[in-house]
Chain A
Amino acid sequence: MNCTTFESRLQSLLDERLRPQADNDLLMHADGCAECSHMLAGYELLWDGLELAEPPAMSADFTQRVVGLAEPASLPRQVWSAPVRALATVAALILIALAPLTRSLWSPSTKSADEHPVAAASGPLPADSSVKPARPSSSDAAQVPQIEAIHSVASDAASEHLAQSPALPPSTDPAPPGNTSNLEWLIAEIPSRLSEVSVENFDTEKIPGMRPLASSFHVTITLLRRSLLGGKDQNPEKPQAILALPATLPVVS
């Protein structure tokens, strides 16, 4: 055995947590080699020192301090993620349902008439509703007369459509209960409104430009029916994205 193999052998013994005393060849070499003898003695002192070098005591309030700093351990994600997803889905459906019925929440100064595609779908609102018809943007001065004309025609057509629909409720609705907000009233009224509205005979002959608006309106009502009423589409053969257009209108490719 030489010094190189001595160290290698010593390292292996230490890796195996074995006593060098068990290796006679190691001891014999150390006895005859000062350098390796020093190495062996050095390891002995090292382990003695490690045993003696005990870590000092920790602070008495260490554990309390740690627990105080740590927030409650997070629960596994799968415990609460499902209800959160369900709530998010319901919230999204409510937003879709409220979009056509809460025109009053939109700022009239920033929306023009053609940005309210579902204006015609909203039935009569409570008496104290703050709904106002959309007005053209003041910044678009050159197009104001044209937009106002379109808006007035659209309102007339919508009113005519609603008047023709036999299932619509009377024009005056009871005001919401005194302790019920307008929003809560709207949410409660949505299902009954949806079942009453008919969009099949929306007359767009008077205003050809209203066809995209009618299409959007139709899609929205269809979605609402499916999600809130739990019923199937009244035209199951037609894909959701393709609307039932009146025969008089050209089909846009």
Chain B
Amino acid sequence: MDEYSSLLRPRRPSTPLTDDLRQLVKRCLAGQQAAMVELVDRYRGRVFGLCYRMLGQRQDAEDAAQETFVRLLKNLGQWDPQRDFEPWLLAIAGNRCRTALAKRQRRPATQTITQPILDSTPDTHAAQNLAEEVELALCQVRGEYRQAFVLFHEHEMSYAEIAETMSCPLGTVKTWVHRARRELISQLRIRGVIAEASYELHDV
């Protein structure tokens, strides 16, 4: 696997609104608990993934995901079947996460370590460390930038879908994603993750 394979993620197949989803929503509106369970199970992974990237902590992410689905089930009748379902669902999740972030800022928070910790022990958990460093760097990025970045690179949504989800212009979303990338690179540099790394040109 060459070094660029990680830059290219298989694009998630587009999921247009299907009759199956329409029927599922209809059954939820009729009060069928089995349908609600099916709907939650279908999207819980993506919702939790966004919430975890936004909040950085498992419990907070699960709380936000729970609130998201409870609101979804209570307001399912307001969904316009002409609109795509997932952007609407992720918009609710994003709002819940931003609310949680605002609450977190208002209360005394634990200090986030921004200085690199020198460790002379052999690095046997490089991958785990890298993952943790990326997560930490992501937590330092501004909320809107972070959400746009996660929706684009992890949920593989288009800029248009993200604009619909975040209720902002497409150009703004593009700017936010670019700025998020720059901030992440900057954070990784500050923490020494991108210290002396250099690119080596390989034969194409």
Contact = CB atoms under 8 A, between A and B. Distances in A.
Interface in A26-61: 27, 30-31, 34, 37-56, 58-59
A45 B77 contact: no
A51 B31 contact: no
A73 B74 contact: yes
Interface in B1-41: 2-4, 6-9, 11, 28-31, 33, 36-37, 40-41
A63 B40 contact: yes
B199 A40 contact: yes
B168 interface: no
A11 interface: yes
B164 interface: no
Nearest to B50: A55
Contact of B40 (A42, A47, A67): A67
Contacts of A52: 127-128, 130-131, 134
B201 interface: yes
A95 interface: no
Interface stretch (B65-73, B89-97, B101-109): B65-73
Given A41-B197, A71-B74, A74-B74, A62 B65 contact: yes
B52 A63 contact: no
B100 interface: no
Interface residues of A, number: 50
B160 to A, nearest CB: 12
Contact of B66 (A11, A30, A62): A62
B6 to A, nearest CB: 4
A106 B97 CA distance: 56
A51 B127 CA distance: 10
B194 A67 contact: no
A191 interface: no
Contacts of B36: 66-67, 70, 73
Contacts of B185: 39, 42-43, 46
Contacts of B113: none
A46 B187 CA distance: 11
Interface string B105-145: 00000000000000000000001101111110000000000
B204 A21 contact: yes
B83 interface: no
Q: Is the interface of B mostly helix, strand, loop or mixed?
A: helix
B61 interface: yes
Contacts of B146: none
A84 to B, nearest CB: 16
A75 interface: yes
Given A44-B6, A63-B44, A53 B33 contact: no
A25 to B, nearest CB: 12
A40 B7 CA distance: 10
Contacts of B197: 38, 41-42, 45
A55 B77 CA distance: 31
Interface string A212-252: 00000000000000000000000000000000000000000
A19 B74 contact: no
A63 B37 CA distance: 6
B73 A70 contact: yes
15 contacts: A19-B7, A19-B8, A38-B198, A43-B181, A46-B134, A47-B153, A53-B135, A55-B58, A58-B65, A66-B36, A67-B33, A70-B69, A71-B74, A76-B29, A76-B77
Interface of B: 2-4, 6-9, 11, 28-31, 33, 36-37, 40-41, 44, 48-49, 52-53, 58, 61-62, 65-66, 69-70, 73-77, 127-128, 130-135, 153-154, 156, 159, 174, 177-178, 181, 184-185, 188-189, 193-194, 197-199, 201, 204
